[in-house]
Chains A and B, each alone.
Chain A
């Protein structure tokens, strides 16, 4: 009996040792010459259905346009690029298992990020645990950068809090008699939307522009008139909305109804969407918004991306597609510099190091990152001028001058 059990112990120990061997073998096997010849496989999970399906598709198209261009040029390091997509249905649990299986089953060489801070965090946790570099197109909330990720980079000009930096600079520099004296803020209870409004609020408050209304409303809010009534009673020079779409339209309409006529009105996200001018009619005129990308900008590869997008998908490219494309551009530059594209630790370390140090020319402008992966640039400011979207700040990228004070809506 004693013999039998000691035999069992030996057998099971051998078993354990074998599995341990198998495990340690894997990373070593990855950069074998055979695999180097195949395509560069890039694993991506995106919300193609569910809450974020619209922006998710936009990002997917951006990735596809990038892959198409790279392959037309002969691929990455002479290897074709192959994108492997999974649909996470906007579910944070699915996104984790998607990346898990992309990395362990599909043995992808690189991973690209999903859409929205809510999905980026669980996805980055998986990528980080396998030591994969993780460039993501849409995780701008503060929390993303507070998780201690070492291989995450956000491929857009700025995190939420810095979106209005150029506008703040402009307002603070105005001569005393033209400068707005009071400002009203209304923001959706959402880390990204609040980040944009509060970034501006804090900068303006520091410059002596008084905050007269500071409202936060939950996502279930359907009626914006009472919020507008509060703003109307305070008669602010400046109205700032930390908004998404419905609430930006709701606020603009309610402010009109309550006859609030500020000198400047700024809303995030809503006005950058194509549906906005239709939804608020003439009231869109002179509304300003932070925007990370412009179809008409002359940044590296932008013209080509817009053209290729039109050829492939028939419509006009949007910011989501541009953000996806930007991820591709950064990885492309890093892979070319590091001369490797495989999941081994050495290669992923080298890519990470390169991205951390470098500055990258992309369709949203030159990008560089701090030690938490936060981009160090700022968003441009757009304004509806004569019914058209124009870039008004910064001046060197501008297509028109900022109109201030705005016309009545």
Chain B
């Protein structure tokens, strides 16, 4: 019983991390129908930058964020304006897979050139201790990851719901032509939307650096998981992705402690499959997802 509780607790915390890592993906797809295969590559790019800041200056990895977040935002705007915006609009979804696949390979190659292929890691003293409540151990690194994810998603949500930029972005997500008719500069908004997506990758990368060692090709194992999360959550819905992430995190944790690791990893694809069969727009996807 306590093992089951432990599994659920770890699942919730890991789910929080998944939500943070997947939120950007959901945004790109929502705004621009772009399937961003390179998102995990950017996560690890951020992890490497965090590693550099941490080892060069000897500071806490989270202090890298004031540098990496603006850099990634700018990078996101640049990627959207210079590359993604040039894709032919009639088959963006397809072509963006190819484009971002190329981006992912480029990033991996550059990381290999600059940092070599050997493993890097950021290990903090607090990262291997845990809080024990009623026999259930909650690792601090996972708590931190969950808290950072919650905070980042809250900010993202507030921006999307409250700010003028958020309204313009949501208008762009919902109906591009109508948004343009009421005076939204959809190109610029799309660029900023992409920037915000990559900014979440900067945060996610720092958290990842804290909990796992990495090497240039680490990103491949994340693509499947994160894609499954946003499809189950409903493409384009940030809140849906967050809920699906926690749900899949818990399912993974529980299956792992009750059955085994192979089935736990498979759960992502089982859910993906069931979603596509039963509710292709995703469990939390709204009208906009119906268009696909």
Contact = CB atoms under 8 A, between A and B. Distances in A.
Interface in B203-233: 211-215, 217-218, 221-222, 224-225
Interface in B224-274: 224-225, 252-253, 256-257, 260-262, 264-265
Q: Which of B14, B139, B211, B261 has the most CB of A within 10 A?
A: B261
A201 B128 CA distance: 28
A314 interface: no
B110 to A, nearest CB: 14
Given A221-B261, A222-B222, A225-B14, A257 B137 contact: yes
Contact of A226 (B10, B119, B222): B10
Interface string B142-170: 10000000000000000000000000000
Nearest to A245: B119
Contacts of A218: 261-262, 265
B90 interface: no
Per CB-CB distance, the 6 closest pairs between chain A and chain B, nearest first, are A217-B261, A226-B256, A257-B139, A279-B121, A256-B128, A257-B130
10 contacts: A218-B261, A225-B14, A226-B253, A227-B256, A229-B10, A229-B137, A230-B3, A249-B119, A250-B212, A279-B121
B123 A278 contact: yes
Contact of A259 (B11, B130, B262): B130
A51 interface: yes
A223 interface: yes
Interface in B121-144: 121, 123, 125, 127-130, 132, 137, 139-142
B119 to A, nearest CB: 5
Interface string A10-54: 000000000000000000000000000000000000000001011
Contacts of B225: 220, 222
Given A215-B260, A226-B10, A278-B123, A220 B224 contact: yes
A213 to B, nearest CB: 10
Given A218-B262, A229-B6, A279 B123 contact: yes
B265 A221 contact: yes
A258 interface: yes
A259 B131 CA distance: 10
Contacts of A229: 3, 6-7, 10, 137, 257
A245 B120 CA distance: 11
Interface string A373-392: 00000000000000000000
Given A229-B7, A233-B2, A216 B260 contact: yes
B119 A275 contact: yes
Interface of B: 2-3, 6-7, 10-11, 14, 112, 116-121, 123, 125, 127-130, 132, 137, 139-142, 211-215, 217-218, 221-222, 224-225, 252-253, 256-257, 260-262, 264-265
A245 B213 contact: yes
Nearest to A273: B119
Given A54-B117, A275-B213, A225 B142 contact: yes
Contact of B212 (A222, A230, A278, A280): A222
A253 interface: yes
Contact of A275 (B7, B120, B130, B257): B120
Contacts of A281: 123, 125, 128
Contact of A217 (B3, B215, B262): B262
Given A226-B10, A246-B212, A258 B119 contact: no
Nearest to B5: A229
Nearest to B211: A253
Contact of B127 (A217, A230, A245, A253): A253
Interface string A239-264: 00000011001100110111100000
Interface in A180-233: 189, 215-223, 225-227, 229-230, 232-233
A158 interface: no
Contact of A225 (B139, B221, B260): B139
A310 to B, nearest CB: 19
Nearest to B220: A220
A249 B262 contact: no
A283 interface: yes
B118 A54 contact: yes
Contacts of A189: 262
Given A274-B118, A275-B118, 12 more contacts: A217-B261, A220-B224, A220-B225, A225-B10, A226-B252, A226-B264, A249-B212, A250-B212, A250-B213, A279-B119, A279-B123, A281-B125
Contacts of B129: 256-257
Contacts of A275: 118-121, 213
Contacts of B211: 253
Contacts of B132: 259
A108 B2 CA distance: 64
Given A233-B3, A246-B119, A259-B137, A51 B217 contact: yes
Nearest to A187: B261
A147 to B, nearest CB: 27
A222 B140 CA distance: 17
B76 to A, nearest CB: 24
Interface string A263-282: 00000000001110011110
Contacts of B137: 229, 232, 257-259
B111 to A, nearest CB: 13
Contacts of B120: 275
B261 to A, nearest CB: 3
B10 A253 contact: no
A230 B217 CA distance: 29
A250 B218 CA distance: 14
B260 to A, nearest CB: 6
Nearest to B7: A226
